[in-house]
């Protein structure tokens, strides 16, 4: 049974009717399933048993302490992109020696904090960053383990905003420059070259871009070996897509097997940085229909969640399945599902056939990744509550933000 399923048309999260959650915790509320998190992680890992590996959950997809803690307990590592994410992982009980630090703008402070924590590896994105890490490490009398994030220039065939492996984006170092940069890195006193890293984009639904990228990376690993630089790990990044509507991403077993096949015969640890694939379909967003508003050309269902809660539709025109959480007698009508925020881009779904009345609850599906993590306080809206369901138990893992929280750091002039 999948974690989110209907019983006689009534949506459940594990054994709990979603209506019970909506009534107890109000809306909008993110609901996650522990079983779905566990299943996603263990099925990703299943294909890797027997090969030296580390699965580093990409914290940005869902940085909830409770969720990080679930993955930490399962032995996960973490891919972080800020000092804030580092602090979260440590607070959630993550092992610092399983952290990789990606991102193009690492500050002195962030590098220092990561070295103090003793992270597994920095994924270095530019020559200037390499020199900065060297300087910070030298000042601390520490050695910084690094990979260079190389840009293999393959087309991930995904939305341009979430494609990162092409030449013309800000990530990584150009493939042609990588050898020379590795030679520089190897010559630096407080840098230890450990790996090669690449990440080509997100929500990738085909296998071939991953394999094309890995082929290029392996070519680089071999070239480095001939120059006396021996790589201990290859980080293949994240990016495995999920099904939002009718996409058919490779399943984990196919994906990991294809990667391992290319690594056959090599004594190299393999790192993965999945985000969306581990949490995307482990969460939904519950929302209430505030108003039904017939329009001249469209009918609007105005709900209490908005683009500030789930930004993906507004930002990427992303599709999220939307369903009523209990069957209703109301006639089915086609609605624009929109939030209360004052922007025409504030929609959650276009042209959705729904049988709903005011006061009904809806579920916005596949909202576990890049949902709460990209939420904002736009229009001075407090961010949603988050709950994690385990069997028949609902744990509140983040309280709904209070309005007073939203301006408590602000000051008016004396
Ligand atoms: N590693 C690095 C270096 C990344 O930049 C990312 C995502 C990941 C791993 C995890 O990728 P995933 O497995 O989740 O595809 N906000 C967008 C997605 C942005 C992805 C950014 N980087 C969305 O809502 O679709």
Residue 257 lies in a domain: yes
Ligand 1, atom 23, lies closest to the CA of: 370
Atom of ligand 1 nearest to the CA of 239: 15
Residue 157 lies in a domain: yes
In a domain, residue 414? The reply is: no
Task: Kindly state whether residues 69 and 19 are assigned to the same domain.
Answer: no
Whether 275 is in the pocket of ligand 1, judged by its Cβ within 6 Å, is yes
121 catalytic, yes or no?
A: no
Question: What is the pLDDT, as a whole number, of residue 171?
Answer: 85
**pLDDT, tens digit (0-9, with 9 covering 90-100), for 128-140:** 999 999 999 999 9
d(CA 370, ligand 1 centre) in Å: 8
| CA of 201 relative to ligand 1 center, distance in Å | 7
Phi, psi (deg, nearest 5) at residue 120: -70, -45
Same structural domain, 348 and 228: no
Q: What whole-number distance in Å separates Cα of residue 272 and Cα of residue 198?
A: 10
Q: Are residues 204 and 311 in the same domain?
A: no
**186 and 236 in a common domain:** yes
pLDDT at 72: 98
Same domain, 203 and 111: yes
Q: What is the rounded CA–CA span in Å between residue 114 and residue 116?
A: 5
Last residue of a domain, one of 276, 308, 336: 276
The domain that holds 70 is classified in CATH as 3.20.20.10
- Residue 62 domain flag: yes
| CA 200 to ligand 1 center in whole angstroms | 9
Considering the domain architecture, whether residues 298 and 391 belong to the same structural domain is answered as yes
Question: Following DSSP, what letter does each residue of 223-273 receive, concatenated?
Answer: HHHHTT----EEE----B---SSS--PPPHHHHHHHHHHHHTT---EEEE-
Query: Residue 82: which residues within 8 A CB-CB, separation 6 or more?
Result: 103, 110
Query: What's the 164 CA to ligand 1 centre distance in angstroms?
Result: 9
Q: Is 320 in the pocket of ligand 1 (CB under 6 A)?
A: no
Its domain, for residue 313, covers 4-32+280-406
Tell whether 411 is covered by a domain: no
Q: How many domains does the chain have?
A: 2
pLDDT of residue 295: 85
Q: Domain check: are 229 and 284 in the same one?
A: no
Pocket test for ligand 1, best of 62, 239, 247, 249 (most atoms within 8 A of CB): 239
Q: What is the largest CA-CA distance in the chain?
A: 72
Domain of residue 372, CATH code: 2.40.37.10
Positive or negative, the CA dihedral 338, 339, 343, 348 is negative
**This prediction's pTM:** 0.97
Q: Is the domain of 211 the same as that of 357?
A: no
Q: Is 277 in the pocket of ligand 1 (CB under 6 A)?
A: yes
From 57, 238, 316, the mutation candidate for ligand 1 (largest count of ligand atoms within 8 A of CB) is: 238
Is 413 domain-assigned?
A: no
Last residue of a domain, one of 276, 302, 317: 276
96 and 155 housed in the same domain? yes
pLDDT along the chain (414 residues), means of 10: 92 98 98 98 97 98 99 98 98 98 97 98 97 98 98 77 64 93 98 97 96 97 98 98 97 98 97 98 98 94 98 98 92 96 96 97 98 98 98 98 96 97
In a domain, 412, yes or no: no
349 and 322 Cβ atoms separated by less than 8 Å: yes
Report the pLDDT value the prediction gives residue 163, as an integer from 0 to 100. Answer: 62
**Whether residue 126 sits in one domain with residue 197:** yes
In terms of domains, do 250 and 305 share one? Answer: no
CA of 316 to the centre of ligand 1 (A): 13
Q: Which H helix or E strand runs over 324?
A: strand 322-324
The answer to whether residues 164 and 249 belong to one domain is: yes
Of 259, 276, 293, the position where a domain reaches its end is 276
Map residue 350 onto helix, strand or coil: strand
Q: Is 359 a domain residue?
A: yes
Q: What is the pLDDT of residue 159?
A: 64
Other Cβ atoms within 10 Å of 222 Cβ, number: 11
């Amino acid at each position: 049974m999948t974690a989110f399923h209907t019983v006689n048309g009534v949506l459940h999260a594990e054994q709990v009717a979603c209506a019970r959650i909506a009534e107890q915790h109000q809306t909008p509320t993110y609901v996650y399933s522990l079983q779905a998190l566990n299943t996603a992680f263990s099925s990703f890992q299943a294909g890797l048993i027997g090969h030296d590996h580390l699965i580093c959950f990409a914290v940005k997809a869902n940085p909830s302490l409770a969720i990080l803690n679930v993955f930490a307990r399962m032995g996960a590592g973490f891919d972080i992109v800020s000092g804030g994410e580092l602090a979260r992982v440590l607070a959630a009980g993550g092992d610092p020696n399983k952290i990789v630090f990606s991102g193009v703008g690492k500050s002195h402070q962030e590098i220092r904090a990561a070295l103090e924590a003793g992270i597994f590896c920095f994924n270095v994105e530019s020559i200037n960053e390499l020199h900065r890490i060297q300087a910070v490490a030298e000042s601390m009398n520490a050695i910084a383990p690094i990979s260079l994030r190389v840009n293999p220039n393959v087309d991930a065939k995904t939305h341009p905003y979430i494609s990162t492996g092409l030449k013309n984006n800000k990530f990584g170092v150009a493939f042609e420059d990588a050898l020379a940069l590795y030679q520089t890195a190897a010559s630096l006193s407080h840098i230890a070259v450990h790996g090669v890293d690449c990440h080509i984009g997100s929500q990738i639904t085909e296998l071939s871009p991953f394999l094309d990228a890995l082929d290029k990376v392996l070519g680089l690993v071999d070239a480095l070996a001939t120059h006396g630089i021996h790589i201990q790990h290859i980080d293949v990044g994240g990016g495995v897509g999920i099904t939002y509507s009718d996409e058919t991403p490779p399943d984990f077993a196919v994906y990991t097997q294809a990667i391992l096949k290319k690594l056959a015969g090599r004594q190299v640890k393999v790192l993965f940085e999945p985000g969306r694939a581990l949490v995307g379909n482990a969460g939904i967003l519950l929302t209430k229909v505030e108003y039904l508003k017939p329009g001249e050309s469209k009918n609007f269902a105005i709900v209490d969640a908005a683009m500030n809660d789930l930004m993906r539709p507004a930002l990427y025109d992303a599709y999220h399945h939307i369903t009523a959480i209990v069957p209703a007698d109301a006639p089915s009508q086609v609605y624009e599902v929109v939030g209360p925020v004052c922007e025409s881009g504030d929609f959650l779904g276009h042209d959705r056939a729904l049988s709903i009345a005011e006061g009904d609850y809806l579920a916005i599906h596949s909202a576990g990744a890049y949902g709460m993590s990209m939420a904002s306080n736009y229009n001075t809206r407090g961010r949603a509550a988050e709950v994690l369901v385990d069997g028949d138990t609902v744990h509140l893992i983040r309280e709904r933000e209070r309005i007073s929280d939203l301006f408590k750091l602000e000051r008016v002039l004396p």
